[in-house]
Amino acid sequence: MSEAPLLRTPLYDLHVSLDARVVPFAGYEMPVQYPTGILTEHNWTRGSAGLFDVSHMGQAFLVGPDRATTAAAIEKLVPGDVAGLAHARIRYTQLLNPQGGIIDDLMIGRSASAADDGALGLVVNASRKEEDFAWIAEHLPANVKLVRADDRALVALQGPKAAEVMARHAPNAIDLGFMMAASAEFDGFDCHIARSGYTGEDGFEISIKADKVRALAGALLAEPEVKPIGLGARDSLRLEAGLCLYGHDIDETTSPVEADLVWSIGKRRRMEGGFIGSARVLRELAEGPARKRVGIRPEGRAPARDGTIVTDMAGRRIGLITSGGFGPTANGPIAMGYVEAAFAAPGTAVQLIVRDKPMPAKVAAMPFVPHHYKR
């Protein structure tokens, strides 16, 4: 990855013109923050509306002859219930390897229109898209194709004022509930709009042709409620919301059961199994996982970062922090990580080894900040 030249999203010039600090991320030159800084951007998103460029993420369509064939093809690779998706619904699930580890987490959506019923939309992580698309293509039957949508950009508008801003540009979008999506027009441009995001707030994710995204971003940034938000605040927002970051909180060694993502595994899928990685998933569902992803709150003010060792009160190692930092809305340090199952109950006292010293902490329920989704 490091030797490959860095890519740019169609909004790169906009980020530079806004004086963003640009850093390498997942093979792209991305804005980590704008001049006002991460705390201000975080708080702006919680209080108003933030615009995120997520065009580096991978978009694709699965195209088959009919709905049942396409759904069955992807259900071989994920534990989520795709066949049961209603029109205009999107679902969070994971691509699993044969050992039940997570290749990536992704969104799968079904069109609002019956005319598109052989197709499903996919959005995957930037850092994993080449692996994901190769893995999916390799496992599809001959009559289902993976069609990459590299000509599309993606932006997210997140926060309590996102809906009133969207109402001015894409009035149909505000009829969508959380985890719904539809084709819509934004100022006359064709796009796909989903009511979803990675902040815990109400908001929208808008997929649009790359050559139109600059105009869309400009229209949103012209609204007084909207400011651009970088990757730094994206990370603190998703951590407060208790959402996993691929490569940190989930990876090819962690299963969806260990990662506390059981809610995303369809009931029918648990009964039937039959997906790649199902042996481990079904065993862990029946017996319980040996370790579990939990929230952790350090008791002092010092943050515990990714890689911090978690011990019991006697000093025995019981786990590892996978994401950690300062939660501006939680107003203190917050973290998530894996601990042995016996220590996973909220309120359990543990220690974090920060700079070689044990620091008191407690296992905590997530999210750290309540979700404000549009139900």
Partner 1 sequence: MKYTKDHEWIKVEGDTATIGITNHAQEQLGDVVFVELPAIGKKVVKGGEAAVVESVKAASEVYAPVTGEVTAVNKELEGDPALVNRGAEGDGWFMKVRLKDKSELADLMDKAAYDKFVAA
Contacting positions for partner 1 (CB under 8 A): 32-33, 37-40, 42, 232, 236, 301-303, 305, 325-326, 328, 333, 355
> Which residue number, 171 or 360, has a Cβ lying nearer to partner 1?
360
Q: What CA–CA distance (Å, rounded) separates 228 from 237?
A: 14
Residue type, 270: R
> Which residue number, 333 or 337, has a Cβ lying nearer to partner 1?
333
Cis before 367? omega within 30: yes
In this structure, are residues 275 and 75 in contact, taking their beta carbons and an 8 Å threshold?
yes
Least Cβ distance, residue 6 to partner 1 (angstroms): 20
- Strands, sheet with 226-228, edge to edge from the N-terminal-most edge strand: 181-186, 189-194, 203-209, 152-158, 49-53, 226-228
Least Cβ distance, residue 199 to partner 1 (angstroms): 15
> Which residue number, 79 or 232, has a Cβ lying nearer to partner 1?
232
Question: How far is Cα of residue 277 from the mean position of the Cα atoms in its chain?
Answer: 21
Least Cβ distance, residue 301 to partner 1 (angstroms): 5
Residue position matching structure tokens 């400009």: 218
Q: What CA–CA distance (Å, rounded) separates 184 from 191?
A: 6
H helix or E strand, kind and range, residue 164: helix 162-169
In this structure, are residues 265 and 280 in contact, taking their beta carbons and an 8 Å threshold?
no
The 10 Å CB-count burial string (b at 16+, else e) for 168-206 is ebbeebbebebbbbbebebeebebbbbbbbbbbbbbbbb
> Which residue number, 38 or 57, has a Cβ lying nearer to partner 1?
38
> Which residue number, 33 or 158, has a Cβ lying nearer to partner 1?
33
> Which residue number, 37 or 177, has a Cβ lying nearer to partner 1?
37
Least Cβ distance, residue 38 to partner 1 (angstroms): 4
- Per this entry, what is the length of the chain? 375
In this structure, are residues 44 and 229 in contact, taking their beta carbons and an 8 Å threshold?
yes
> Which residue number, 33 or 94, has a Cβ lying nearer to partner 1?
33
Least Cβ distance, residue 95 to partner 1 (angstroms): 29
Least Cβ distance, residue 332 to partner 1 (angstroms): 9
β partners of residue 238: none
Least Cβ distance, residue 300 to partner 1 (angstroms): 8
From residue 301, alpha-carbon distances to 24, 242, 333, 359 in Å are 29, 19, 6, 10
226-228/49-53 β-pairing:
parallel
Least Cβ distance, residue 26 to partner 1 (angstroms): 17
> Which residue number, 38 or 265, has a Cβ lying nearer to partner 1?
38
